[in-house]
Amino acid sequence: MTRNWFITGGTPGGFGMAFAEAALDIGDRVVLTARRPAELAEWAQTHGDRVLVLPLDVTDAGEVQKAVGAAEKRFGGIDVLVNNAGRGWYGSIEGMNEAAVRAMFELNFFAVLSVVRAALPGMRARGDGWIINMSSVAGLRGVTGFGYYSATKFAVEAVTEALREEVAPMGVRVMAVEPGAFRTRAYAGFADEPIEEAIAEYRPMLEEVLAAMIAQDGKQPGDPRRGARAVIAAMAQNPPPRRLVLGSEGFDAVVATLEDSLAEIRARETLSRGADFSAES
């Protein structure tokens, strides 16, 4: 059965494009959205009427509704939604500019909700569909210097977990995807971005973080194309996973983090259980 995909964040060389090409490779049709759709025009022409490129700023709820409506009109419905649009900003928890923090939540979290809410009615009506929310390894472990970015992804994880249970009886499946460091254009702009930090004591830490990101640009171990294909393979499993970590480094980091957390929780079991009312109460 041919499926119709709706993918946000269609930057050339990024995960959005990788998902689009992977879907096309298995015979599906794709709606790929981008803030700069002209960058995708030549690519779209090579796929004819199997591809629809739409302009979309996911932080504009009106544009989201319009784009989802256009996708449903063109292909008859959305079978797979991939919430991929987003980006990361760095800064300290204490000193990061509040406007930047709120902008990051608007893009990485609230926009995800807007797209989900726009696409779900059609899926519920058909009793079938997939929602793939692109989270991050940073959504499972806080990253120093990217605390607020981690917070947006932790929020995506929580919503995805709850949404999965809410829509399962309606035939809609939901998966969180947590990539580690992948060779996309995500790090490309860091070299040109000055450190905007209000508190001098945090600048050395942020300088180290920024230098590491710049040094890794173009050398990230993760391959977006292979990552997208891994997600499609996971979707075909019975049962499919609730989440999928992508990349060896990310896998190792998540496993270590969760094992450390579990060990710490268990080490404080007596204190935890001691907070209940006593049996005599």
Is there a catalytic annotation at residue 135?
yes
Active-site annotation holder among 92, 114, 135, 150: 135
Contact partners, residue 56, CB within 8 Å, separation at least 6: 8, 33, 34, 35, 63, 64, 67
Is there a catalytic annotation at residue 66?
no
Is there a catalytic annotation at residue 272?
no
CB contact at 8 A, 177 and 247? no
Distance CA 86, CA 178 (A): 13
Active-site annotation holder among 90, 92, 114, 149: 149
Alpha helices in the chain (DSSP H): 15-25, 41-45, 61-75, 98-105, 111-126, 147-167, 203-216, 224-235, 248-267, 269-273
Which position has the token pair 């404080």?
268
Residue 262: Cβ-neighbour burial (10 angstroms; 0-12, 13-18, 19+): exposed
B/e letters for 150-171, b = 16+ CB within 10 Å, e = fewer, are bbbbbbbbebbeebbeebeeee
Active-site annotation holder among 90, 92, 114, 153: 153
Contact partners, residue 62, CB within 8 Å, separation at least 6: none
Active-site residue set: 135, 149, 153
